[in-house]
Structure 1
Amino acid sequence: MRSFLPSLRVAGVMAACLVSGSAFAYATGQTGYSGKDSAMTCASSGCHTLAGATAPTVTIDGPSSLAPGQTGNYALIIRGGPAARGGFNVAVDGSGTLNAGAGSKKVAGEITHTGPKVFANGEVRFDFSLVAPATGTTLTLFGAGNSVNGNANETGDASATTTLKVKVGDGGSSGNGGEDDGGGCSATGGVPLLGAALMLLGARLRRRGA
């Protein structure tokens, strides 16, 4: 039984990574490491360390604004790094709803890969969609991408994170546009009010002089 404990510790560490060559269960995706929680990323977990590898660039491609209730199509794109295979994790704050695309799955409201995807033409893309809420707000998409060398070892791999702001409708503003709330004299209303006050004062003075 004692000899089994180190294996459990290794499996626990590997669970913190997006793609693992030696622990096949975690090659099918992992959530919670998108960067939404800044303390929980592949880089901070200690897995898939650079070890001389160049960090990839990770971007989220898609519309930066949506109408309330609209569905937008997005892709997380990984370029560079070891660039043999890639995996990803995407999360959203607020009340947006994520849906998985081909080669991806939805777990606990987040999106991750169903299996490592091979790089093609220097990049790997993971498609997904975002359904905007029914009211105006500003959402943030959080994405992590892992570029691995596929050598069945976590060392020599590299990851990076990115974000994308998505404005829904008016972006959650109050919608009053900074207009006067009626509590004071506006530029257009001040003159009539002043004229009325002068007329009233003049009428009183005339009555006193009569």
Structure 2
Amino acid sequence: MRSFLASLGVAGVVSACLVSGSALANSAGISGRSGRDGSSLTCAECHTGGGAAPTVTIEGPATLAPGATGNYSLIIRGGPAAGAGYNVAVSEAAATLTAGSGSRKLSGELTHSTIRRFSNGEARFDFTMVAPATAGRVTLFGAGNSVNDNGTEQGDSSATTTLEVNVTGGGSGGGDGDGNDDGGCAAAGGVPLLGAALVLLSTRLRRRR
């Protein structure tokens, strides 16, 4: 009986360590929870019971030229708001994500390296994306987790968002949209002037005769 109870005690300690280890691991970030790979693969898979969900948005340019770099921010507002974490993924492998301060790249995705504290009612994670070299559409997938920072996954709340980025070539500029440069002269415009000059020269030559 004592042996059985001792075994239960050991199992309980191991279980507690596993749960604590999971919470600590996620405080340093996790990938595969941006919502890109399915609606069930988000922060809400583990973090639950936090009441009203936060609002999560991704801010940044919705249009980039091929190969251009865009500056973006994932912003979390509301929820328990003691701290925050995030995960961002991109739909196209040809687009390159780079983590900002307090973040890191994990398995090709972006996540926090430590819990971010709220400031002025929000937690902001900055990052950049280099657009693919060819035109098309890229989707940024983001998940934000607003936590109560009690050391467990209970009492937290999360939400997801997306941002569509169009990768398109830009015009050369300086034109008026019809192929003519502003302020320039059309080639056809020079023909009447040349004709007038020739007529005047011909008239003068006749008078001299």
Alignment of 1:93-104 (within 5 A): 93-94=91-92, 95-104=94-103
Residue of 69, 77, 98 corresponding to 1:79: 77
Specify the SS of the correspondent of 1:118: coil
Read off the aligned partner of 1:60 and give its amino acid letter. I
Partner of 2:86: 88
Specify the SS of the correspondent of 1:75: strand
Unpaired runs of 5+ in structure 2? 1-6, 170-209
Q: In the alignment, does 2:174 pair up with 1:165?
A: no
Partner of 1:124: 123
Read off the aligned partner of 2:153 and give its amino acid letter. E
Residues 155-185 of structure 1: CA deviation (Å, up to 9, x unaligned):
1110000000000016xxxxxxxxxxxxxxx
CA separation in 2, counterparts of 1:155 and 1:26? 13
Partner of 1:10: 19
Residues 124-152 of structure 1: CA deviation (Å, up to 9, x unaligned):
00000000011001000000000001122
Alignment of 1:36-185 (within 5 A): 36-38=36-38, 39-43=40-44, 45=45, 47-51=46-50, 53-94=51-92, 95-169=94-168
Read off the aligned partner of 1:28 and give its amino acid letter. A
CA separation in 2, counterparts of 1:66 and 1:167? 6
Specify the SS of the correspondent of 1:167: strand
Aligned residue pairs: how many? 158
Max Rg structure: 2
CA separation in 2, counterparts of 1:61 and 1:73? 9
CA separation in 1, counterparts of 2:60 and 2:54? 19
Partner of 2:181: none
| Identical-residue share of aligned pairs (%) | 58
CA separation in 1, counterparts of 2:14 and 2:83? 30
- Which has a greater percent of helix? 2
- In structure 2, the CA distance between the partners of 1:138 and 1:98, relative to structure 1 (3 Å rule), is same
Alignment of 1:188-199 (within 5 A): none
Partner of 2:29: 29
Unpaired runs of 5+ in structure 1? 15-22, 171-210
The alpha-carbon deviation at position 24 of structure 1 amounts to 2.1
The alpha-carbon deviation at position 10 of structure 1 amounts to 3.0
Specify the SS of the correspondent of 1:29: coil
Partner of 1:191: none
Q: Contact (CA 8 Å) 2:28, 2:112: kept in 1 or not? A: yes
Read off the aligned partner of 2:81 and give its amino acid letter. A
The alpha-carbon deviation at position 6 of structure 1 amounts to 2.5
The alpha-carbon deviation at position 78 of structure 1 amounts to 0.0
CA separation in 1, counterparts of 2:88 and 2:137? 17
